[in-house]
Amino acid sequence: MAIADIEKSDPEVAAVVRKELERQRNGLELIPSENFASPAVMAAVGSVLTNKYSEGYPHKRYYGGNEFIDQVEDIAIERAKKIFGVEHVNVQPYSGSPANFAVYMAVCEKGDTVTGLNLVDGGHLTHGWKVSAGAIFFNSVPYHVRPDGYIDFDNVREIARKHKPKLIWCGATAYPREFPFKEFGEIADEVGAYLVADIAHISGLVAAGVHPSPVPYAHIVTTTTHKTLRGPRGGMIMVTKKGIEKDPDLPAKIDKAVFPGLQGGPHDHVTAGIAVALKEAMQPEFREYAEQIVKNSRALASALADEGMKLVTGGSDNHLLLIDLTPFGKGKGLFAQEALDLAGMTVNKNTIPAEPASPFYPSGVRLGTPAVTTRGMKEEEMKLIGKWMADVIKEAVKYEMPDDREKRKDAIALFRKEIAENSVVKETRQKVLELCKRFPLYPDLE
């Protein structure tokens, strides 16, 4: 991608792209679902493949002129099958949520019972949260985590045995520990349910062998391609050998659910980006990268704990951390997020298990290490980042979120005015800038 090319056609948009590039270069991206794709991946996404329409599947298209598109999609499929050890792969989902909805459409009838981790406990919106299609069209009975933040398997078994769900989701958006796929597989088999492992967050770790694979235990595996896998913004649905043994028609049902069930023509430029990312994931250095993500996550957890921060489950097994701010009061996630943002550290406010406030004004902060690891940062840098984060958070949590909703607007306005002038935040911002200069991002992207 050359910003100069955009500038010739649209200086206004080019200026915004340059601003975003500078924001990424000069800050620490710590949202665990974000990463930096390689120049090769970005070039594929910005290629001439964006010009083509290709409804259907390789060698079975509704449009002509797809002989090279077929090759690209075949390459992506074969690489995914090899990396993850699965029997069937669909690389056409536009992202993770469409992929998950396609799974519902493939294996469930309207009104069937499904179960997934409750959103407030760290689950994903598409796993049956009350406002999503997974709960609107299906009978969603969510399971929970224990008080210590780990999945409550007594609760999972009780729900499975009582409600006999058609589908069980294993996966999350804010769970800092290793996913126990084997235990989920045993429960699914006991009640005859489909087990779907959503590995959107950890697919890069699974690909590198740094996190156990769900493939021996799950029937279906879904993932995004832009998080730890470090590809473009897309999705994949994989059917395992166990899935085909349960239903030999499952691959065909998945494909039909994606197209024509939910989507039209695939985004061929994104398919090419996925293929490139998968090739990168097959290299020895990718395993080193994935191992470093976990090392960095643990080092960052240790640094935060040393500074008095409470972590959900006490630490991390993967790329993700969840800070519990309730020792400072409830509903302070927004304050922490915005203060950290001003200091050049991008995180996201997040609910914690047994959230005492609300999803919009939650009591936690979610962060992770994929993007800073891509920049080459290691344990020593995590120690610095953990100290800086704690310093800023301690300033942010001095502010209170009123219980009275009518008073929140004024409280937030006052916070924003004062935190922008906070000396600790300003000093930390300079430290972050200096660190970022030591680890340049996209130096040739102009």
Catalytic residue among 7, 34, 52, 53: 53
Question: Domain spanning 292-438 has what CATH number?
Answer: 3.90.1150.10
Tens-place pLDDT, residues 59-69:
999 999 999 99
* 428 catalytically annotated: no
**Residue 85: which region, alpha, beta or left (left: phi > 0; alpha: psi -120 to 50)?**
left
- Burial category of 318 from C-beta neighbours within 10 Å (exposed 0-12, middle 13-18, buried 19 and up): buried
* 280 catalytically annotated: no
* 198 catalytically annotated: yes
Euclidean distance between CA atoms 150 and 194, whole angstroms: 22
Catalytic residue among 29, 73, 121, 198: 198
* 246 catalytically annotated: no
Q: Please, are residues 427 and 392 in contact by the beta-carbon 8 Å criterion?
A: no
**CATH 3.90.1150.10: which residues of the chain?**
292-438
Tens-place pLDDT, residues 123-138:
999 999 999 999 999 9
Q: Is 219 helix (H, G, I), strand (E, B) or coil?
A: coil
pLDDT value of position 186: 98
Distance (Å) of CA 323 to CA 39, 265, 298, 383: 33, 41, 13, 16
pLDDT value of position 444: 87
Catalytic residue among 18, 25, 52, 55: 55
List of residues 6+ apart from 143 with CB closer than 8 A: 115, 116, 117, 118, 151, 152, 155, 156, 159
Going 428 to 434 to 440 to 442, the CA torsion angle's sign is positive
Residues of the chain scoring pLDDT < 50: none
Q: Is 236 helix (H, G, I), strand (E, B) or coil?
A: strand
* 87 catalytically annotated: no
Task: Please tell me what DSSP assigns to residue 319.
Answer: S
Catalytic residue among 52, 81, 233, 253: 233
- Amino acid found at 99: A
Task: Give the pTM.
Answer: 0.96
Task: Please tell me what DSSP assigns to residue 145.
Answer: B
Question: Domain spanning 44-281 has what CATH number?
Answer: 3.40.640.10
Catalytic residue among 115, 224, 240, 428: 224
pLDDT value of position 158: 98
Nearest Cα neighbor of 87 from 252, 211, 208, 204 is 252
pLDDT value of position 1: 55
**CATH 3.40.640.10: which residues of the chain?**
44-281
* 104 catalytically annotated: no
Catalytic residue among 177, 227, 230, 375: 227
